[in-house]
Amino acid sequence: MVAIIKTGSSLRNVLHYNENKLTQQAAKLIHSINFGKDTEALGFTDKIRTLQKLAEQNERTLRHAVHISLNFDVTDKLDKEKLQKIAEVYMQKNGFGAQPYLVYKHTDAGHPHMHIVTTNIQSDGRRIRMQNIGRNQSEKATQQIENDFKLVHAQRQQLKQVYELKPVTVQKVQYGKTQTKRAITNVLDTILPTYKYASLPELNAVLKQYNIMADRGSEHSRTFSNNGLVYQVLDERGQKIGAPVKASAIYNKPGLSFLTEKFKQNESLKQPHKLRIRNAIDFALIKKPGQPLEALIKNLEHEKIQVVLRQNDKGVIYGILTVLIFESFNPCCYGWCF
């Protein structure tokens, strides 16, 4: 079992994401705790009001929305009752047992998984500390649940295979805007919170590996003048294809203001890792001077450094992005250009 924990500033957006899955028949609400009603009787207003009422008890905590996904091996035998119990044990062991939370079983991926929506603000206004919760409580909880419920243990290679992002399939664009939006959202959900990018070009250098780009439009376009942003699917040649999806139409609203704030945060977060990357590059060049670029890229991979080439439509390299990959699969992105 693999647990992914995310926090955000909008309970409504997180709830809408899962409720939209219900509408698309890609999810089912299978459980709820501490809402004062049976799960089947809960309406959207019941759900959002209960969570927001708690969040309002502590206005100083901006990131009060908690969105957790629990992911299982395809061979795990999981009926509704077993998933409910797993959710209860997991939330209890992570300090959320007394919180109201909703459990959605999703069916839109190749492996069984469920999403849990809650808030980290308690009834007395105190917040549940989220710092290092994934590395501490959550990891211990998942290991215990694997043993107690006889689940397949998430080895590193298995974890990597489950969460290795695949480029958006260009053919999906032909099926309509809903499929395009879903494919883009799936990539953004992993890239935006984990990579430490400090500019739009740095972010796009990563997104283009998955056939996506964030586009402000030309300087004279309405999108650019209104500080707007759209996400666009790219074909195998890097050309835009299909209708763009507005950032405002994606559930966590990853628009320009959102990204600008991330740029500021990430600039300081990635500073400590610059020296390691520079030293690794210098050492590789000193060890084998004059080596081809392909060989340099391969040598850096052994140092957990991924190289992304930035090329124009003629194949001319105008920049290089280096990505330092941590063992926790939390990449730190550091970009530099010629």
Give the pLDDT of the chain (338 residues) as one tens digit per residue.
888 888 888 898 889 888 988 888 889 999 999 999 999 999 999 999 999 999 999 989 888 999 999 989 888 999 999 999 999 999 999 999 999 999 999 987 767 899 999 999 999 999 998 887 867 788 899 999 999 999 988 654 454 444 444 555 544 444 345 477 877 887 887 788 777 888 898 888 888 878 889 999 888 898 999 999 999 988 877 788 888 899 998 877 899 999 999 898 888 877 777 778 888 888 888 888 888 888 888 888 787 777 777 777 677 777 777 777 654 444 555 554 43
pLDDT of residue 155: 57
* pLDDT at residue 103 in the model: 97
Neighbouring CB atoms inside 10 A of 140's CB total: 12
Rounded to whole angstroms, the Cα distance separating 325 from 196 reads 11
Beta carbons of 204 and 213 less than 8 angstroms apart: yes
Contact between 43 and 35 (Cβ < 8 Å): no
Tokens of 142: 């998942």
CA–CA distance, 62 with 42 (Å, rounded to integer): 26
> For residues 308 and 320, is the Cβ–Cβ distance under 8 A?
yes
d(CA 168, CA 170): 6
**pLDDT recorded at residue 334:** 54
Choose among 27, 23, 3: nearest CA to 102: 27
Mark out the alpha helices in 211-317 (DSSP H runs): 222-225, 256-269, 274-287, 293-301
Q: Please give the pLDDT value at position 275.
A: 79
pLDDT of residue 26: 87
On whether the CB atoms of residues 45 and 19 are closer than 8 A, the answer is no
Question: Residue 170: its pLDDT value, please?
Answer: 44
Question: Whole-angstrom Cα distance, residue 239 to residue 170?
Answer: 11
Give the model's pLDDT for residue 82. 96
Q: Are 242 and 233 in contact (CB under 8 A)?
A: yes
Beta-bridge mates of residue 70: 3, 114
Predicted local confidence at residue 328, as pLDDT: 44
d(CA 296, CA 293): 5
Q: Rounded to an integer, what distance in angstroms lies between the CA atom of residue 7 and that of residue 130?
A: 9
Contact between 82 and 149 under an 8 Å Cβ cutoff? The reply is yes
What would you measure as the largest C-alpha separation in the chain, in angstroms? Answer: 69
Would the CA dihedral through 145, 147, 150, 151 be positive or negative?
A: positive
pLDDT of residue 68: 93
| Phi/psi-derived region of residue 34, left when phi > 0, alpha when psi is between -120 and 50, beta in every other case | left
The backbone torsions φ and ψ at residue 309, rounded to the nearest 5 degrees and listed phi first, read -85, 135
Q: Give me the domains of the chain, ranges plus CATH numbers.
A: 2-163 (3.30.930), 170-269 (no CATH), 271-336 (no CATH)
Q: Under 8 Å CB-to-CB from 81, ≥6 apart: which residues?
A: none
In the structure encoding, which two tokens stand for residue 187, read together? 């990539």
